[in-house]
Amino acid sequence: MRRALRLLAAETGMVLRERLTWAVLAALFAALLLGAHTGAVRVEAERAALATLAAEEGRAVVAAREAYARYARATPVKINYWQDPTNAFGYMTQFLTVHAVKPPTPLAALATGQSDVQPSFMRVSFGSSTVFDDVAYELGSAARLKLGAFDLAFVLAVLVPLAIIALAGTRLSVERDSGTLRLIAAQPIGPRAVAGAKFGAVAGILVVAVLGQTGLALWLTGAIRSLAGSGVTLGLLAGALAAYILVWVAACALVATLWRGAVAALSILVLAWTLFTVAVPAAASIAVDCLTDKPSRIAAIDASRQVQDAFANGGAGPRLTAQWLARIPGAAGRADLVEAPEIKRLARDAHYDVQLDARRESFRAHDRESAALSRWLALASPVTTFDFALQRAAGTDAGRHAAFLASAAAYRRTLRAFFEPRIVAQALNPVPVCAGCQARLDFDAYDDVPRFQPSIDLTAGRRGALMALAWLIVLAGGLALSARARLKAWPA
């Protein structure tokens, strides 16, 4: 044990004296700073956008109150419902300004994930009906999306393995090429002790350096303002990062046991990096498409068109409206209400929801199934395993967006349940509020309109980080044991 510690200390000193070590660590730190800065800027932009939305909602309420005060005076001018924010139906369909929002998590700066193509907010309105939940996308530059985001997750998951290969890829192999390996083998020491010292030194230096540099980059860029319940998740991610580094160091050790020389060792490791960074994720994406039954958006659009056409032009509208009215106390037999625009709209939307709900649910089920399958297929590569853990901790994964879409749809139903009885009550008994007033003046409960309650599931990120940590430890242990088994004796 004492000899092993002396060897480890000697190798650590040698690695630290190499210029390549400091060049690689300096380049890696610059990349980490840029990645953390990119994440911090993105999160600040999301927070600013949400603040803008809140201000917009506030201005809409102020404008509605001003209109109420202005319209509460007699005037000969007729005010249509689509111009009248004091009309419950007009306000719901034309003036309502509310949003479903997906606020950034405390660790959102760690990974862009799907957030560059999936919106963090959607305006909830009743101006039109659709079979899809995901209708508010702002994709931006197609070229920029194709290149992807240079975020912290990209640096840690993709570039850190290259740094490890640069520092550990030729350990033992370069000694073989130079002939030094024969001199080492002539000493009373086994290959396991030598390899343990060489790769252990690199592993120790890299774990300390990468963890320290990552923390420093996050602190300098202000990417993480507050942990707010994410301290355990961040600790698990730090452990997963250390295990991820050990996976690649162990892979370098295993390749070194092939005794193929430095060039061959680097070639094998770069090919392995390409396989697990490019080929396996691409294959997993194809597998998700093949293993999940994706509903047809064209078929859904066609079904929506047919339902709307049948209601508006197929003669079913009056009958369905009368059936909808029959369930309301005091409305049965009120033939005058069948052609009222607000009643027709409420009946139409209720009919659409019933007819198209199965298709909406099929899209939601596909999103949930795809997200769950992707998490399991990610385990096929250490790169995707660690990257998915970062995305789940950051709250930028596809699973969280699917949950956001579902909550936005539920919020829309809540809003309709709020407005519907008020609209129906005025339609049943249209009592004038003031003599000569052409506005409806039946709605002023602007502050009572339900607000969207965003939620952040911190346990999902914790579970993802724990799963990644456990799996990466297994991979690192398996590779290390395989390398140890092959290092029974020096090569002939």
| pLDDT tens figures, 26-63 | 999 999 999 999 999 999 999 999 999 999 999 999 99
User: Residues 354-380: what's their mean pLDDT?
Assistant: 88
| pLDDT tens figures, 243-289 | 999 999 999 999 988 888 888 999 999 999 999 999 999 999 899 88
**CA–CA gap between residue 406 and residue 31 (Å, rounded):** 37
pLDDT on residue 344 = 86
Work out the pLDDT band at 339, boundaries 50, 70, 90. confident
Strand partners, 124: 98
pLDDT on residue 119 = 81
pLDDT on residue 70 = 85
> Is the separation of the CB atoms in 113 and 461 below 8 Å?
no
Work out the pLDDT band at 137, boundaries 50, 70, 90. low
| pLDDT tens figures, 411-454 | 999 999 999 988 888 888 777 667 777 777 888 899 999 999 99
| pLDDT tens figures, 200-232 | 999 999 999 999 999 999 999 998 888 888 899
User: Residues 370-376: what's their mean pLDDT?
Assistant: 88
What are the extents of the domains in the chain? Answer: 2-33+152-289+468-486
Percentage of the chain exceeding pLDDT 70? 92
